[in-house]
Homo-oligomer: A and B are copies of this chain.
């Protein structure tokens, strides 16, 4: 059974529990500024391990020391509980 889409109200209440994520369109996104490229890659690899473990993968954009993560459940056509589980785990890194 596919994970169900969250309602707008459910998205808003879950967003409040996250740190620094915004909600454009059908996704949530966060940009982090690290010390330099090496630290950015360290962070990206930590995110990648979490993502692979949860079988839920963010879009990842690396611009030297800046990393932008974008989460959405493409198979469901929008945001589901899985996006917020991963976002919360990323916030905990």
A residues sitting closer than 8 Å to B (CB atoms) are 37-38, 41, 44-45, 48, 51-52, 57, 59-64
Contacts and interface: CB of A to CB of B under 8 A. Distances in A.
Contact of A38 (B41, B52, B59, B61): B52
Contacts of A41: 45, 48
A89 to B, nearest CB: 16
A91 B27 CA distance: 33
Contact of A62 (B38, B60, B63, B64): B60
B37 A51 contact: yes
Contact of A61 (B45, B51, B59, B64): B59
In the complex, which of the residues A37, A62, A63 has the most CB atoms of chain B within 10 Å of its own CB atom? A62
